[in-house]
Amino acid sequence: MKFRFVLAALATTAMGLAIAQTPAPTPQPAAAPASAAVAIPPAPTPTATAWVLMDYITGQVLAGENYNERVEPASITKVMTSYVLAAEQKNGKIKPTDQVMMSERAWREGGAGTDGSYSGFAVNKTASLLDMETGMAVQSGNDAAIALAEHAAGSQEAFAALMNNYAAQIGMKGSHFANAHGLSAPEHYSTAYDLALLGRALIREYPEQYAFNKIKEFTVGAITQPNRNLLLWRDPSVDGIKTGHHSAAGYCLMSSAKRGDQRLIAVVMGSTSEKQRADDSLALLNWGFRFYETHRLYEPGKAIATQRVWKGKTKDVQLGVAQPMLVSVPRGRYDDLKPTMDVPKTLVAPITAGQAIGTVKVTLDGKVVAQSPLVAITAIEEAGFFKRLWDAFWMWWESE
């Protein structure tokens, strides 16, 4: 028997899956489409060697040029350093309260006596990991990056191996890291696309560490330095991510902004000036927000559908999503979304609350733009002996 799956703000959308005696799902309300379809003009073209604009929810590339070509990441490298530090803290290897030594090597290679950016922590003295990490994120301190790498892995070289391991897990196929700070080195490279993936992963997995990137200034001793991301002062929706610059890399900026439920990530590499990278990045973000929109389809804990359960005290289980399900589409294309569900033909109790049952997918023009596991909203206990025996008979009967 066909059952119907209803995407909340759409009228009912038919989809088929042969499941015997399955009740019709209960539709749930969602926000109505905000606007009519509009023609999407070409994206602004940055003055840069490589760039990309990525939708955070789906990971879809909305626009870009040369974004898979190898570039020097400069201090955007420190976003990878932040990701590794966050992951190692989650794994219990290091703590924010750890006292991190500013070694002579870190001070010599990344301190005030060098041409790069520095945080100003005193040599051969310690500071908390939290302070050093904040200094690295806000001030782009090379000294802090080296000291943190030494603390987390024993040496910067060992830390670089961790960076590459985590980069592979994120899916950064075009990247290789040789240090924690981003100064030029053999075999130290990335791509605009990989860096956008990295920014997306940091935002999604470690929001506390990501939040360091929106701090506008930070003080170490008597030295107060501003965040070099000019967009933090230009647009309140921008909350990160990181700047980078040296002679070989040019001026680089990985930025992200969130407006309502929609978040975009822009990466501009090899720009001509600090102002130009900011201007181009904001133009890309504004274009993306103007011509694409994000809709919240389903909320956790609310039934999307019901499904027949055999051998249970209750005959049906309600299915929903564990996390809010959002989708990003070209503005005005909401009505063209096509939802489908993939669930087992036969479910047998017991079923625990939160148990994965199947998958809900939403497509646009035949391409999956959002998907989420379907989970049981409530538990279904196993029925008594005679009810299980009766259901076993009917399961056998309907299988013939």
Strand partners, 317: 307
What CA–CA distance (Å, rounded) separates 374 from 69?
38
Number of H helices, E strands in the chain: 10, 18
Tell me the CB-side half-sphere exposure of residue 376, using CA atoms within 13 A.
22
What CA–CA distance (Å, rounded) separates 35 from 228?
36
* Active-site residue, selected from the candidate residues 117, 140, 190, 328: 140
Question: 């299915």: which residue's tokens?
Answer: 319
Task: Tell whether the torsion through CA atoms of 129, 132, 138 and 141 is positive or negative.
Answer: negative
Question: Catalytic: 117?
Answer: no
What CA–CA distance (Å, rounded) separates 58 from 167?
19
Question: Catalytic: 247?
Answer: no
What CA–CA distance (Å, rounded) separates 88 from 331?
40
Task: Tell whether the torsion through CA atoms of 101, 104, 108 and 109 is positive or negative.
Answer: negative
In this structure, are residues 14 and 229 in contact, taking their beta carbons and an 8 Å threshold? no
H or E segment and range at residue 139:
helix 129-139
Task: Label residue 80 exposed, middle or buried (CB < 10 Å: 0-12, 13-18, 19+).
Answer: buried
* Catalytic sites, residue numbers: 75, 78, 140
